[in-house]
Amino acid sequence: MEYSGIGYDLHRLVEGRKLMIGGVEVPFDKGSQGHSDGDVLAHALCDAILGAASLGDIGTHFLDSDPKWKGASSLIFLEHVAKMLADRRLRVVHVDAIVICERPKLGPHFPAMRAALGKALGLATDQINLKAKTNEGVDAVGRGEAIAAHAIATVRQH
């Protein structure tokens, strides 16, 4: 059997923070606000995978009040989620995601992100598809005040 799940996340972009996306630091003058490293793509993927496995959401498993996760790499969340699935004889077979921000350009960083995400999830890079969009200048994302991500995951029972 195969199952699918969706994920969404948004983080404010602020000065004085690194911009971590898909486990990669993207050079930019702002970064994602958040308790962990604020990796919007990793968080959306976590929720998509947890959804496909009927395991709730990222907030249930990684409390944002827990000092253990302060500044943590969100790749740890993905590794943990992959292990939770393995314990239930489930595995991720494919993920697809859209990252939305006005700047910077993300396409050049996708190969590194796919490699980092693949390592965390135990997937080959061709099982991870990433897409970048702008918000055409509309709303907070369009004004460069925030970054958002949508994701979908397909999980198989074996």
Tokens for 24, please give them.
Answer: 């990669």
Of 7, 9, 23, 151, the one binding Mg ion (CB under 5 A) is: 9
Q: Which is nearer to Mg ion, 43 or 109 (CB)?
A: 43
Question: Is 43 one of the binding residues for Mg ion (CB under 5 A)?
Answer: yes
3-class SS of residue 86: helix
Q: Cα separation of 117 and 42, whole Å?
A: 8
Query: Which span sits near Mg ion by CB under 5 A: 2-10, 81-89, 109-117, 132-140?
Result: 2-10
Supply the minimum distance, in Å, between the C-beta of residue 129 and Mg ion.
20
Cβ 94 vs Cβ 154: under 8 Å: yes
- Binding to Mg ion by residue 47, rule CB under 5 A? no
Q: Which is nearer to Mg ion, 21 or 121 (CB)?
A: 21
SS3 content of the chain, % helix, strand, coil (to 5): 35, 30, 35
Instruction: Judge if the upstream peptide bond of residue 67 is cis by omega within 30 degrees of 0.
Output: no
102 scored as a contact of Mg ion (CB under 5 A):
no
Closest approach of Cβ 126 to Mg ion, in Å?
26
DSSP 82: H
For Mg ion, the binding residues (CB under 5 A) are 9, 43
